Amino acid sequence: MARITLRNLAHSYLPTPQGDGDYALKELDHVWQDGGAYALLGASGCGKTTLLNIISGLLRPSHGRVLFGDRDVTDEPTAARNIAQVFQFPVVYDTMTVRENLAFPLRNRGRDAAYIKARVQQIAAIIGMESALDRKAQGLTADAKQKISLGRGMVREDVNAILFDEPLTVIDPHMKWGLRTQLKQLHREFGHTMIYVTHDQTEALTFADKVVVMHEGRVVQMGTPQDLFETPAHTFVGYFIGSPGMNFIDAQVAGDTATLPGGAQVGLGGHYAPLSGKIGIRPEHAALTGQGGLPVTIRRIEDVGRHRLIRAELQGVPLNIVAPEGQPVAGLDRVVFDPRRINVYADDWRVAPQEIA
């Protein structure tokens, strides 16, 4: 087990990359702490899989170094890195039995038979496949196969990290929840470093202690689920996390006031140097009211169970508001924002409020 450090890492699939756009992965510095449970979250094609393959050594980065602990492994092959990886589609050796599948990584490393037997039994118990150990892997269902892949990833006790590349894509929705819980439990039990790639925010937020959000080949934020929710570092994070995502409104900001295009003013929770950008507010932190605040036009009200979602317009700009269950909304046509929950963005990046001296 080891801390994984990415230093000035970047990757381009082109031999001579010209501009920023030629990089599948833009330069980043990042440390994955030993024993952490990380999620790598982003839309398809944002560079998540590229990053994962660089860590596992399936891909050699065109720039920068990869360190395991203090050891530079940039040029080492996958096998030497002692990494486990679970792929999007189940990869099982069809002609082997489940037992042979699980034992395969240990056999290849020349472990002794008694140890392998015990370890396979243990893993089979964890993934709940003890009864199927002597069946051929061929013909098992997709989720059973994916469990085997998972088991093969965990069978080595000394792996530096276990990487998951959207491992639940082919799994039935009702099985997903179970497997995810199992993973979380395994992480607590064995303390492996786990990096979990997904484009599903629920998966990311429930699995990980730290979530890394990627956008267009760049890491835009790394933080706890709470950080991502409350203080998105980039407008993309605001959009991507939460359902629906954060509301963004163009604004001129100066001091503790934001002036909207129509001239209306919104109070902010902190002090800012003058700038032209956007203010961001979560639908959960906006509330309908009868007086004060800003006038809105309500377009539609959706009842989504525990709360109601109000689709409104503020001076022609769409605005989502979450109304708690039981709150009457009839006749309310104004909105107020919680000043402390408003974030300010310039060029899509969050601007922190000034310390007040």
Partner 1 sequence: MDKTVNNKAWLLVLPVLAIVAFSAVLPLMTVVNYAFNDTFGNNEFFWAGLEWFDEMIHSDRLHAALGRQALFSAIILAIEVPLGIFVALNMPKKGFWASFCLVAMALPLLIPFNVVGTIWQIFGRVDIGLLGRTLSGLGLDYNYTNDPIDAWVTVIVMDVWHWTSLVALLCYAGLQSIPQAYYQAARIDQASRWAVFRYIELPKMKGVLLIAVLLRFMDSFMIYTEPFVVTGGGPGNATTFLSIDLVKMAVGQFDLGPAAAFSLMYFLVILLVSWVFYTVMTGMDRSQSDIPEGM
Interhelix angle 113-127/142-154, rounded to 10 degrees, is 130
Residues 6+ apart with CB under 8 A from 1: 34, 35, 158, 159, 160, 161, 191, 192, 193
**Residue placing its CB nearer to partner 1 in the complex, 138 or 289:** 138
Q: What is the largest CA-CA distance in the chain?
A: 76
Report which secondary-structure segment, H or E, holds 201.
helix 201-207
**Residue placing its CB nearer to partner 1 in the complex, 156 or 308:** 156
**Residue placing its CB nearer to partner 1 in the complex, 138 or 276:** 138
Residues 6+ apart with CB under 8 A from 186: 126, 154, 192
User: Closest approach of Cβ 166 to partner 1, in Å?
Assistant: 11
Measured from the Cβ of residue 116, the count of other Cβ atoms closer than 10 Å reads 19
Please, which contacts does 237-241 make with residues 24 or more away whose CB atoms are closer than 8 Å?
A: 237/213, 238/280, 238/343, 240/41, 240/42, 240/43, 240/201, 240/213, 240/215, 241/201, 241/205, 241/213
CB 220 within 8 A of CB 61: no
**Residue placing its CB nearer to partner 1 in the complex, 166 or 203:** 166
**Residue placing its CB nearer to partner 1 in the complex, 142 or 298:** 142
User: Closest approach of Cβ 84 to partner 1, in Å?
Assistant: 6
- Comparing CA positions, the residue from 180, 246, 224, 247 lying closest to residue 41 is 224
User: Closest approach of Cβ 128 to partner 1, in Å?
Assistant: 21
CA 251 to chain CA mean position, Å: 29
CB 59 within 8 A of CB 6: no
User: Closest approach of Cβ 162 to partner 1, in Å?
Assistant: 10
User: Closest approach of Cβ 108 to partner 1, in Å?
Assistant: 4
**Residue placing its CB nearer to partner 1 in the complex, 170 or 179:** 170
Query: Could you tell me the CA-to-CA distances from 341 to 49, 230, 270, 284 in Å, in that order?
Result: 33, 7, 10, 10
**Residue placing its CB nearer to partner 1 in the complex, 172 or 250:** 172
Residues binding partner 1 (CB under 8 A)? 53, 56-58, 77-79, 83-85, 87-89, 91, 93-96, 104-105, 108-109, 138-139, 142, 149, 152, 170
User: Closest approach of Cβ 163 to partner 1, in Å?
Assistant: 9
**Residue placing its CB nearer to partner 1 in the complex, 148 or 287:** 148
User: Closest approach of Cβ 94 to partner 1, in Å?
Assistant: 5
In the numeric block, the tokens 């997709």 are attached to 142
User: Closest approach of Cβ 80 to partner 1, in Å?
Assistant: 9
Measured from the Cβ of residue 11, the count of other Cβ atoms closer than 10 Å reads 23
